[in-house]
């Protein structure tokens, strides 16, 4: 039985090879995407750690004028601001759970008092914290703690404005923290703050003086975990290599040596062991090769034996006594005939 047998045509092997290459390419693309996410999450984690470790600075240092965008490297930076809350323009942010709990976020406009700077009179929306949903009406909280009245020194962390909401919300509520949307949802609308808004909002850390009614401040955000994306990157690269490895294994199984019926009857279950045994058997069945030196020695020995016989010397142990070398063998053949 033949050792090898092509189970597939050449065209089929080519199609399989192309499929392996395409699958490996897709795995490499997925790995590249995961690597880009790794870079993004790593930079975000580093920026968050750096921002939380920085000391508070005056708000004018990070927001030089109304409408100016907040640089990405300043997100979550802590700032101080003096001014007053517009408590009667409070708005609630809905559908934003905190630590798995359904809550409302309390958003209040803060008018900055900073004479001599472009931010004097600017309006900064502040997320003061959260309140639980009402036990009887999930559309509203039972009560909303009021902010401190009069002049307040605010310490807050800056966040970039969120995109405008695309879904409607009940009166006095919003679906995202977009400064324009928050001011527009407040009683009386937002026209009073036209031209004085910032492109960022604040997450309250502390207020001086403190409010009479306490509010639950927001916890520190969880930093992204870039190691997860890194592990996915490695996994996709392993899958890419695995495509070629699978093709090679399939090729070896179908195109390489196989166990024959004789191998199985002989008790072999490993192709390599069976091949080694067959090779050893073939080597043992071949006649031993005679080297040139052995042939020359045999000729010399025969010549010496012939010379001894011609001179009448006694024959050697390998030669018959009644004839020249080789005649004994001939005589035996004749008698047997």
Per mean pLDDT, which range of 99-113, 140-154, 156-170, 304-318 is the poorest? 304-318
Residue 324: pLDDT over 70 = no
The encoded tokens of residue 166 equal 């695309």
| H-state helical runs in the chain | 10-53, 59-62, 179-185, 226-255, 261-265, 271-285, 292-310, 327-336
**What is the model's pLDDT at position 300?**
75
**What is the model's pLDDT at position 78?**
96
Residue 96: pLDDT over 60 = yes
67: left (phi over 0), alpha (psi -120 to 50) or beta: left
Contact criterion met (CB below 8 Å) for 184 and 190:
yes
Same structural domain, 161 and 120: yes
Q: Is residue 186 part of a domain?
A: yes
Q: Is residue 14 part of a domain?
A: yes
Per mean pLDDT, which range of 111-115, 244-248, 299-303, 331-335 is the poorest? 331-335
149, 181, 208: which is the final residue of a domain?
A: 208
Contact criterion met (CB below 8 Å) for 76 and 159:
yes
Give pairs for 318-326: CB < 8 Å, separation 24+. 326/302
Same structural domain, 32 and 101: no
Q: Please state, as a whole number, how many other Cβ atoms lie within 10 Å of the Cβ of residue 119.
A: 24
Taking alpha carbons only, the member of 212, 193, 218, 209 closest to residue 112 is 193
- Residue 290 phi/psi, 5° resolution? -100, 125
**What is the model's pLDDT at position 186?**
95
The encoded tokens of residue 17 equal 């090879």
What value does the mean pLDDT of the chain take? 85
Q: Is residue 285 part of a domain?
A: no
Q: Is residue 274 part of a domain?
A: no
**Residue environment code for 80-117, b if the CB has 16+ CB neighbours within 10 A, otherwise e:** bbbbbbbeebbbbbbebeeeeeebbbbbbbbbbebeeb
208, 235, 267: which is the final residue of a domain?
A: 208
Among residues of the chain, what percentage have pLDDT more than 70? 81
User: Average pLDDT, stretch 101-126?
Assistant: 95
Same structural domain, 81 and 193: yes
The encoded tokens of residue 279 equal 């090779």
Same structural domain, 47 and 165: no
Per mean pLDDT, which range of 25-29, 252-256, 288-292, 331-335 is the poorest? 331-335
Residue 140: pLDDT over 50 = yes
Same structural domain, 85 and 186: yes
- Residue 231 phi/psi, 5° resolution? -65, -40
Question: Which one has a higher pLDDT value, 122 or 317?
Answer: 122
Q: How far apart are CA 238 and CA 126, in angstroms?
A: 48
User: Average pLDDT, stretch 128-136?
Assistant: 92
Q: Which pTM does this prediction carry?
A: 0.66
Residue 333: pLDDT over 60 = no
What pLDDT, in 10s, does the model give residues 205-232? Answer: 999 999 999 999 999 988 889 999 999 9
Residue 319: pLDDT over 60 = no
Q: Please state, as a whole number, how many other Cβ atoms lie within 10 Å of the Cβ of residue 54.
A: 12
Q: Is residue 286 part of a domain?
A: no
**What is the model's pLDDT at position 264?**
64
Counting the structural domains of the chain, the total is 2
Q: Is residue 283 part of a domain?
A: no
Using DSSP, state whether 152 is helix, strand or coil.
strand
What range does the domain containing 87 cover?
77-208
Question: Which one has a higher pLDDT value, 298 or 11?
Answer: 11
Using DSSP, state whether 196 is helix, strand or coil.
coil
- Residue 289 phi/psi, 5° resolution? -75, 140
The encoded tokens of residue 163 equal 């995109």
Same structural domain, 234 and 199: no
What pLDDT, in 10s, does the model give residues 44-80? Answer: 999 999 998 899 999 999 998 898 889 989 999 999 9
Q: What is the largest CA-CA distance in the chain?
A: 146
Q: Residues in the chain, how many?
A: 337
User: Average pLDDT, stretch 12-31?
Assistant: 94
The domain spanning residue 139 has which CATH number? Answer: 2.40.50
Same structural domain, 190 and 90: yes
Q: How far apart are CA 265 and CA 54, in angstroms?
A: 78
- Residue 198 phi/psi, 5° resolution? -105, 165
């Amino acid at each position: 039985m033949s050792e090898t047998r092509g189970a597939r045509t050449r065209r089929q092997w080519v199609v399989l090879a192309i499929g392996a290459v395409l699958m490996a390419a897709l795995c490499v693309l997925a790995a590249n995407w995961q690597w880009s996410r790794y870079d993004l999450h790593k930079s975000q984690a580093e920026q968050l750690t750096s921002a939380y470790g920085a000391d508070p600075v005056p708000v004018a240092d990070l927001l030089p004028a109304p409408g100016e965008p907040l640089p990405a490297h300043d997100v979550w930076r802590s700032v101080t601001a003096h001014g007053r809350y517009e408590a009667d323009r409070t708005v609630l942010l809905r559908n934003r759970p905190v630590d798995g709990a359904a809550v409302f976020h309390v958003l209040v406009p803060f008018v900055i008092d900073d004479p001599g700077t472009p931010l004097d009179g600017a309006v900064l929306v502040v997320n003061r914290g959260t309140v639980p949903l009402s036990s009887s009406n999930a559309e509203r909280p039972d009560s909303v703690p009021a902010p401190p009245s009069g002049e307040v020194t605010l310490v807050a962390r800056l966040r970039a404005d969120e995109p405008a909401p695309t879904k409607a919300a009940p009166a006095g509520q919003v679906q995202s923290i977009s400064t324009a949307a928050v001011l527009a949802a407040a009683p009386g609308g937002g026209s009073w703050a036209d031209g004085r808004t910032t492109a960022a909002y604040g997450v309250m850390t502390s207020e001086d003086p403190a409010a009479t009614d306490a509010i639950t401040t927001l916890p520190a955000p969880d930093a992204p975990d870039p190691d997860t994306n890194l592990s996915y990157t490695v996994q996709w690269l392993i899958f890419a290599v695995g495509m070629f490895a699978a093709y090679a294994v399939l090729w070896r199984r179908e195109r390489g040596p196989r166990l024959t019926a004789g191998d199985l009857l002989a008790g072999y279950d490993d192709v390599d062991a069976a091949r080694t045994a067959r090779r050893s058997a073939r080597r043992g069945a071949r006649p031993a090769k005679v080297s040139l030196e052995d042939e020359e020695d045999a000729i010399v020995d025969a010549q010496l034996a012939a010379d001894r016989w011609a001179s009448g010397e006694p024959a050697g142990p390998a030669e018959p006594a009644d004839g020249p070398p080789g005649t004994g063998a001939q005589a035996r053949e004749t008698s047997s005939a």
